[in-house]
């Protein structure tokens, strides 16, 4: 039971896509920073929890956005305009540095996933953003309405001479539960779905073979989608390297290559 909030507020919280993480002693939205969120474990699973607190605590955006409210006129502008959709559904036409390749992964909240990939030897650059949706130039508020079909993506730029694509796949599987549909821990919504988005036929083949191997290790069906990489929209700057920069509490986490320190998803 939630305490310290009104009946109407509790009703609103009940429909938030992200479940409130409640302190065992007391809870108040105004004093939430006093109670760092607890890590959660997915029942019958050893996968890490890649879930963030409600966005009313973690970003400048209003939590009303998760209800489709508080966006002014913007929410009504999120439509299936054919020209906008054609651009958004086009291929990622960015070009990696010479001798390097791109890879895209969606595995829940992109903060912890990005830090995991930053630590992989041979990874030269990571960016978080949005892809696979139907509107051009989406904002974080837009994707939180649940109407744009975008996924939170980490785009990895790596040197294939130093890091095989299979190494990236291994990290991808280790960072989330691929058997939960449109959900990772407390984060619920299509933007948190599991996905591998390939740039080449070789990546597609490796991804499908890797999924088959993973399925043999699990007793639940994997729901990871494997699709061509589409246009990548870089997320707002405060999302980039969020945990390395310190997260909400300013506790910087190492992005050093080979670092195996536990990843605290909220700093």
Give the pLDDT confidence score for residue 96 in this predicted structure: 98
Q: How many CB atoms lie within 10 A of CB 248?
A: 18
pLDDT tens track for 160-188: 999 999 999 999 999 999 999 999 998 99
Q: Is residue 248 part of a domain?
A: no
CATH number, domain of 166, equals 3.30.1060.10
pLDDT tens track for 250-265: 999 999 999 999 998 8
Q: Is residue 226 part of a domain?
A: yes
Q: Is residue 106 part of a domain?
A: yes
Q: Are 178 and 46 in contact (CB under 8 A)?
A: no
Give the pLDDT confidence score for residue 82 in this predicted structure: 84
Q: Is residue 260 part of a domain?
A: no
Q: Does pLDDT of 35 surpass 60?
A: no
Q: Is residue 261 part of a domain?
A: no
Please give the tally of structural domains in the chain. 1
Domain that holds residue 17: 7-239
Q: Is residue 173 part of a domain?
A: yes
Active site residue 18: no
Q: What is the mean pLDDT of residues 122-138?
A: 97
pLDDT tens track for 198-215: 999 999 999 999 999 999
Q: Is residue 171 part of a domain?
A: yes
Q: Which residue, 92, 133, 134, 88, is CA-closest to 229?
A: 92
pLDDT tens track for 221-247: 999 999 999 999 999 999 999 999 999
* Residue from 109, 144, 163, 265 carrying the catalytic annotation: 109
Q: Are 116 and 168 in contact (CB under 8 A)?
A: no
Q: Are 235 and 130 in contact (CB under 8 A)?
A: yes
Q: Is residue 253 part of a domain?
A: no
Q: Are 154 and 110 in contact (CB under 8 A)?
A: yes
Q: How many CB atoms lie within 10 A of CB 81?
A: 14
What Cα–Cα distance (Å) separates residue 216 from each residue in 124, 178, 222?
Answer: 32, 13, 10
Q: pTM to 2 decimals? A: 0.75
């Amino acid at each position: 039971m939630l305490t310290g909030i009104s009946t109407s507020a509790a009703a609103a919280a009940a429909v938030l896509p992200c479940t409130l993480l409640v302190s065992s002693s007391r809870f108040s939205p105004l004093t939430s920073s006093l109670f760092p969120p607890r890590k959660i474990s997915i029942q019958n699973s050893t996968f890490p929890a890649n879930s963030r607190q409600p966005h009313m605590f973690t970003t400048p955006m209003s939590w009303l956005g998760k209800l489709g409210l508080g966006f002014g006129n913007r929410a009504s502008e999120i439509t299936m305009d054919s020209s906008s959709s054609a651009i958004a559904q086009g291929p990622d036409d960015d070009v990696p540095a010479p001798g390097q390749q791109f890879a895209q992964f969606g595995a829940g909240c992109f903060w912890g996933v990005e830090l995991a990939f930053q630590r992989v030897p041979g990874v030269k650059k990571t960016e978080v953003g949005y892809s696979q949706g139907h509107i051009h130039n989406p904002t974080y508020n837009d994707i939180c309405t649940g109407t744009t079909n975008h996924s939170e993506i980490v785009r990895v730029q790596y040197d294939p001479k130093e890091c095989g694509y299979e190494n990236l796949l291994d990290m991808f599987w280790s960072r989330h539960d691929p058997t939960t549909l449109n959900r990772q821990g407390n984060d619920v919504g299509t933007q948190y779905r599991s996905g591998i988005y390939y740039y080449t036929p070789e990546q597609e083949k490796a991804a499908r073979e890797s999924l088959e191997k993973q399925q043999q290790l699990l007793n639940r069906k994997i729901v990871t989608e494997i699709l061509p990489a589409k246009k990548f929209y870089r997320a707002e700057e405060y999302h980039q390297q969020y945990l390395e920069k310190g997260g909400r509490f300013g506790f910087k986490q190492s992005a050093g290559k080979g670092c195996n320190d536990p990843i605290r998803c909220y700093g």
